[in-house]
Amino acid sequence: MSKIGVHSFVWSAGSSRDDLERALNRTHELGYKLIEFSYLDPRQVDVAWLAGRIRELGLDVAISMGLPPEGDISSDDAAVVARGEEILDKAVALTRDLGGTKLAGILSSAHGKQERALTRQAWDTSVSALSKVADRARTTGVTLNLEIVNRFESNMLNTAAQGMAYIADTGASNVFLHLDTFHMNIEEADVGLAIRHAADKIGYVHIGESHRGYLGTGSIDFPAIFDALVAIGWNDYVTFESFSSAIVDKDLSLKTAIWRDLWKDNVALARHAREFITLGLQTAQLKADLVKQAHLPS
Ligand code: MN
């Protein structure tokens, strides 16, 4: 059975001690097992304190991020690529220092709408840089999970199949896919089939609705997704990700085009999401069990 996580931006985009403490407590109180933070700057956040609080509450932690344009590892400017590698190394270190094992998000290119198609050279440059980061990450026990995002947020990895090709090119065993139902709903021919096809390489999963609000109130076929996760025997994390203009991160809210307040009460939202995912996965498991039963006369 999968374990359920929540993105900290459901609680707050702030990184003050009060913001973090509230996010941790809400996560714990509502029965989530993992909290995902967007990259936190160790110069502004007491990492040892935060790691201690995560441990005390018995939570797991993941870190996610999107590379900025000035750290785009697919760039033809070597200095920009070097900067990107540095950013990724720091994120790996932060993940390790918080007691986590997964770095996720848009790690292979800049996060944001691009004005031109990706070139072969950009792909190769990114693969080469990420391979080096993966090599250095090996001793930390932190895996790199490449988020597959829609066309408006990257021009590189928009489908799981592209991500699998990229991982194959790195030749690294600690690089996986980070799949997100919101993005897959836009780009994949069939989300359930894509999950089954990529099964061996999935490292992390985001569960989000088509408008990024309440699960089940948009157009995503969640039963098909839960069926696929059960079918591949997924027993790792699925993390609820939802954004509303009620909580603004000046960088991420703009890049992900969060213009509407799809919710205001984040406690009600998170409680609903955990129940929705739990029930969805349980139901998928019941279906999987049921089709195996022959129900012969006794
Ligand atoms: Mn996501």
Number of separate domains in the chain? 1
143 is a domain residue: yes
Residue 230: burial class (beta carbons within 10 Å; 0-12, 13-18, 19+): buried
Q: How many CB atoms lie within 10 A of CB 73?
A: 27
The pLDDT, as a whole number, for residue 30 is 98
Query: Which pLDDT band, with edges at 50, 70 and 90, does 250 fall under?
Result: confident
Q: What percent of the chain has pLDDT over 90?
A: 92
Strands of 78-221 (E only): list them. Answer: 102-110, 143-147, 175-180, 202-207
State the average pLDDT over residues 32-48.
97
Give, as one character, the DSSP assignment of residue 194: H
In DSSP notation, 39-82 reads: ---TTTS-HHHHHHHHHHTT-EEEEEEEE-GGG-TT-S-HHHHH
Query: Are 34 and 6 spatial neighbours (Cβ–Cβ below 8 Å)?
Result: yes
Helices 160-170 and 120-137 cross at an angle (nearest 10°) of: 60
The pLDDT, as a whole number, for residue 253 is 86
- Nearest-angstrom CA–CA distance, 130 and 109: 10
27 is a domain residue: yes
Give, as one character, the DSSP assignment of residue 207: E
Tens-digit pLDDT profile for residues 272-283? 999 999 999 999
Residue among 214, 206, 209, 208 nearest 262 (CA) = 214
The pLDDT, as a whole number, for residue 208 is 98
Tens-digit pLDDT profile for residues 157-205? 999 999 999 999 999 999 999 999 999 999 999 999 999 999 999 999 9
Query: Which one of 36, 188, 209, 241 is the catalytic residue?
Result: 241
Query: Which one of 36, 147, 188, 209 is the catalytic residue?
Result: 147
CATH of the domain at 172: 3.20.20.150
228 is a domain residue: yes
Q: What percent of the chain has pLDDT over 70?
A: 100
184 is a domain residue: yes
Q: pLDDT averaged over the chain?
A: 96
CA of 241 to the centre of ligand 1 (A): 6
Which range marks the domain in which residue 23 is found? 3-292
Query: Which pLDDT band, with edges at 50, 70 and 90, does 1 fall under?
Result: confident
The pLDDT, as a whole number, for residue 107 is 98
Query: Are 98 and 60 spatial neighbours (Cβ–Cβ below 8 Å)?
Result: no
For this structure, is 241 an active site residue? yes
3-class SS of residue 251: coil
Query: Which pLDDT band, with edges at 50, 70 and 90, does 248 fall under?
Result: confident
The pLDDT, as a whole number, for residue 252 is 85
198 is a domain residue: yes
- Nearest-angstrom CA–CA distance, 261 and 30: 22
Checking if the pLDDT of 246 tops 90, the result is: no
Query: Are 183 and 148 spatial neighbours (Cβ–Cβ below 8 Å)?
Result: yes
The pLDDT, as a whole number, for residue 179 is 98
Instruction: Give me the residues near ligand 1 (ion), CB cutoff below 5 Å.
Output: 180, 206, 241
Query: Are 281 and 7 spatial neighbours (Cβ–Cβ below 8 Å)?
Result: no
Which residue reads 């007491």 in tokens?
A: 46
298 is a domain residue: no
Checking if the pLDDT of 213 tops 80, the result is: yes
CA of 144 to the centre of ligand 1 (A): 14
State the pTM of this model: 0.96
State the average pLDDT over residues 3-30.
96
CA of 296 to the centre of ligand 1 (A): 45
3-class SS of residue 294: coil
116 is a domain residue: yes
Residue among 184, 182, 142, 132 nearest 163 (CA) = 184
Query: Which pLDDT band, with edges at 50, 70 and 90, does 247 fall under?
Result: confident
CA of 290 to the centre of ligand 1 (A): 32
297 is a domain residue: no
- Nearest-angstrom CA–CA distance, 51 and 176: 24
162 Cβ contact partners less than 8 Å away, ≥ 6 residues apart: 148, 156
